[in-house]
Amino acid sequence: MSIFILMFLLLLHSSSSSSSVLPEPPPKIPTVCIVGAGIGGSSVSHFLRTYSSPNPNLNFKIRIFERNGVVGGRTATMNIAGDTFEAGGSILHPKNLHALSYSKLLNLTVNDPSSSSSIGIWDGKKFLFKTLSAKSKLPFVEKIISLVNSVRIFLRYGVSILKMESFVQSAVGRFSKYYESFESRPIFETVDAMLEWAGLYNLTTSTLRLELDDAGLSPLLIQELVTVITRINYGQNVSMSGLAGAVSLAGSGGGLWSIKGGNWQMAAGLINRSDVALHLHEEIESISFLEEYYELNSTEGKSYVCEVAVVATPLDELNIQFIPPVSIPKRKLQHTHTTFVRGLLNPVYFGLNVVSEIPELVGTIEDPDIPFSSISVLKQHDEKNMTYKVFSRQPMDDALLDSVFSARTETIRINWGAYPHYNAPEVFAPFILDGLHLYYVNAFENAASTMETSAVSAENIARLILSRFFGQVPLSTANTTFSSVGGEGLHVDL
């Protein structure tokens, strides 16, 4: 009996000793949840991974939620008769350094710059101005036509065309400050501070018309060419805010480019590289802060716990419930109706005799009686069969299309809540929606809405998260994807 009791005590001691040295459970890995798989959300995940990679002890999960079945957000493509065309964000500027770096990083193929298209300015009854079209593919012929068109534009608008270029270059130059190294570029907690630092804030406080008047542009240039550009790029006129207008004008310059097969591939590639859990067809219905974490509830009836939550989609037309509520300025989205038509324009509608007299890009001045903003030729299949893209503020019904086109074999309509409706002075939503760790990438859209501005905003959000939540402040841009590649060199390559 004594031996039995001794053995029992030894066994009990051994058990208690072993339990006292059991390893502690590993610390919980924090999770960053991102709502939206467009260029903004994918860029946040990319920069979080890129900027945290030097620290082997910085470990976190990323979840991305997308209500649609594909990534890319407002970049999307449309297939017509075996050809792929951009249906959303379609052009990039040669100084969009984040987009350039994405294309290099992901080994994406850049479309060759297309030859200059003929442009016509339509007032609803007649063409006020048309450029010549270079039908020949010979380079020297194209250069001659381009020179002649430059002369004709200068004769119509005078030195104002040079003043417009100077205005745009000034805005682009100031925007380029967002690519500076971390040593000279702060982390911004508000859009206002971000714009003021770059010298761009004042452009958001007045209209484009006032800014161009101050720059000395002629009323004729503003009424015609500038208005055509803003209607095409933002579906709005020169009463829009100055910075968005400047960005719109920059989108009409030379060297513009895109990704072969669709710009959505940038978002897809960044997500694939960023080690994320991607939830497609899963819309977030509510985001609740529960003392130490956020709970995200989806339309699939699932709940997710996240220490950091990022909204990377416009909240203007979404019904996400925030608990506690958040406050952002009311904002109206500008809807652009994109209509793809395979067929042939009707020359009679434009007061012409043959289709060949219609410019390849028809832009319009501001007139409520003109039913479309622009019509452009995407591809000429043969003399009686072309693919067109039509931008309009209202849907183009069949009766209207039948008057504009003499033949239609295929028609596809898309309604984009494409960008904010800009008003000066602009009022900005906060980057940090609740003062804690709920972030809003699209707050920057009220300054200007492009693929690149989304990437710039996302990069700042990633730095905010790393500094405010993880306590890590990157000290250099050595790990940024564009740092080793000069923008001008890429411009030449393109």
What pLDDT, on a 0 to 100 scale, did the predictor assign at position 17?
42
Domain ranges of the chain: 31-72+261-280+294-331+424-493, 77-173+218-259+332-420
pLDDT per position as a tens digit, 74-120: 999 999 988 999 998 888 999 999 999 999 999 999 987 666 689 99
On whether the CB atoms of residues 256 and 213 are closer than 8 A, the answer is: no
238 in Cβ contact with 209 (< 8 Å)? yes
Fold equal for 31-72+261-280+294-331+424-493 and 77-173+218-259+332-420 = no
Residue 351 has a CB neighbour count (10 Å cut-off) of 11
Distance CA 218, CA 222 (A): 6
Q: What's residue 27's pLDDT? A: 61
Using one digit for the tens of pLDDT, what is the confidence trace for 344-366? 999 999 999 999 999 999 999 99
Cα 154 from Cα 148, distance rounded (Å): 10
Q: What is the distance between the alpha carbons of residues 386 and 407, in angstroms, rounded to a whole number?
A: 10
Helical pair 242-250 and 227-234, crossing angle rounded to 10 deg: 90
Residues above pLDDT 90, as percent of the chain: 78
Token pair, residue 94, equals 């040669």
For range 122-149, the mean pLDDT: 87
Over residues 220-256, the pLDDT tens digits come to: 999 999 999 999 999 999 999 999 999 999 988 778 8
What CATH number is given for 31-72+261-280+294-331+424-493 in this structure?
A: 3.50.50.60
Average pLDDT rounded to a whole number, residues 405-420: 95
Please, which pLDDT band fits residue 342 given cuts at 50, 70 and 90? very high
Asked if pLDDT for residue 211 goes beyond 90, the answer is yes
Task: Please give the biggest Cα pair distance in the chain.
Answer: 118
Q: Which amino acid type is present at position 145? A: I
Architecture of domain 77-173+218-259+332-420: Alpha-Beta Complex (3.90)
Angle formed at CA 453 by CA 450 and CA 457, multiple of 5 degrees: 140
Is-above-0.75 flag for pTM? yes
Q: What token pair was written down for 72? A: 């890319």
Q: Is the pLDDT of residue 490 over 70?
A: no
- Give the DSSP letter string of 58-76: ---EEEEEESSSSS-TT--
Terminal alpha carbon distance of the chain: 92
Backbone phi and psi for residue 195, each to the nearest 5 degrees, phi listed first? -75, -40
Tokens of 422: 């800009």
How high is the pLDDT of residue 23?
Answer: 52
Mean pLDDT of the chain: 89
**Backbone dihedral region of 476: left (phi > 0), alpha (psi from -120 to 50 degrees) or beta?**
beta
On whether the CB atoms of residues 441 and 310 are closer than 8 A, the answer is yes
pLDDT tens figures, 254-287: 788 999 999 999 999 999 999 999 999 999 999 9
Q: Reading across the β-sheet that carries 303-306, which strands appear in turn?
A: 303-306, 294-298, 284-289, 321-323
* Residue labelled with tokens 């379609």: 90
For 435-488, the pLDDT digits (tens) are: 999 999 999 999 999 999 999 999 999 999 999 999 987 555 444 444 433 333
Surface-to-core class of residue 385, CB atoms within 10 Å of its CB (0-12 exposed, 13-18 middle, 19+ buried): middle
Residue-wise pLDDT for 4-59, tens only, equals: 444 444 444 444 444 444 455 556 899 999 999 999 999 999 999 999 987 878 89
In the prediction, which pLDDT does 26 show? 56
